[in-house]
Amino acid sequence: MTPSDKRMRVLFYSSRKHELPVLQRGCPIEIEAIFCEDRLTEATAHLAGGYDAICLFTSDDASAGVVEKLAAEGVRYIALRSAGYDHVDLAAAASAGIRVCRVPAYSPAAVAEHALLLALALLRRLPLAHQQVHLQNFSLHHLVGRELGSLTVGVIGTGAIGGTFARLLTGFGCTVLAFDVAPDRKLEADTGLQYADLNTVLRYADLIALHVPLNRDTQHLVNSASLARMKRGVVLINTARGGLVDTEALLEALSSG
pTM score above 0.85: no
- Mean pLDDT for the stretch of residues 84-95: 94
Per-residue pLDDT, averaged over 194-211, amounts to: 97
CA 202 to chain centre: 20
**Spatial strand order in the sheet of 194-195:** 194-195, 175-179, 152-156, 207-210, 235-238
What's residue 2's pLDDT?
45
Show which of 71, 101, 131 is a domain's final residue. 101
141 plus 247 within the same structural domain:
yes
Dist. CA 179–CA 23, nearest whole Å: 36
- Asked whether residue 158 is assigned to any structural domain, the reply reads yes
For residue 197, name the pLDDT band (cuts at 50, 70, 90): very high
Specify whether 180 is located in the same domain as 118: yes
First to last CA, the chain: 59
The Cα 59–Cα 213 span in angstroms is: 15
Q: Is 231 left (phi over 0), alpha (psi -120 to 50) or beta?
A: beta
Among residues 101, 119, 151, the one where a domain terminates is: 101
Q: Are 81 and 118 part of one and the same domain?
A: no
Rounded to an integer, the average pLDDT of 189-210 is: 97
In angstroms, the CA 166 to CA 188 distance is 9
- Looking at the fold, whether 95 and 125 belong to one and the same domain comes out as no
pLDDT at 101 over 80: yes
Residue 50 has pLDDT above 60, yes or no: yes
Spell out where 13-104 has E strands: 31-35, 53-56, 77-80, 99-101
103: closest CA among 71, 66, 58?
Answer: 58
Q: Judge whether 3 lies within some domain.
A: no
236 is a domain residue: yes
> What is the rounded distance in angstroms from the CA atom of residue 180 to the CA atom of residue 102?
22
In this structure, the answer to whether residues 172 and 68 fall within a common structural domain is: no
CB-based burial, 31-43: b 16+ in 10 Å, e otherwise? eebebeeeebbee
Give the count of domains, the chain: 2
Looking at residue 111, its pLDDT comes to 94
d(CA 257, CA 255): 6
Residue 194 lies in a domain: yes
Render pLDDT for 217-234 as a digit per residue (tens, 0 to 9): 999 999 999 999 999 999
Chain mean pLDDT for the chain: 93
Q: Which long-range contacts (CB under 8 A, 24 or more apart) does 195-203 make?
A: 198/156, 199/229, 201/154, 201/155, 201/156, 201/177, 202/154, 202/226, 202/229, 202/230, 203/229, 203/230, 203/231
User: Do 231 and 147 belong to one domain?
Assistant: yes
Whether pLDDT at 1 is above 80: no
Contact 60, 70 (CB under 8 A): no
On whether residue 128 sits in a domain, the answer given is: yes
Are 55 and 161 within one domain?
Answer: no
Query: Tell me, what's the pLDDT at 60?
Result: 97
Q: Are 143 and 125 in contact (CB under 8 A)?
A: yes
Residues 233, 132 share a domain: yes
State how far the Cα of 250 lies from the Cα of 64, in Å rounded to an integer. 30
Q: In CATH, what number is assigned to the domain containing residue 82?
A: 3.40.50.720
Residue 5 confidence class, pLDDT cut points 50, 70, 90: low
Q: Which residue segment(s) compose the domain that 56 sits in? A: 8-101
Q: What are phi and psi of 181, to 5 degrees?
A: -65, -20
Over 80: is that where the pLDDT of 121 sits?
yes
Instruction: Indicate the SS3 state at residue 244.
Output: helix
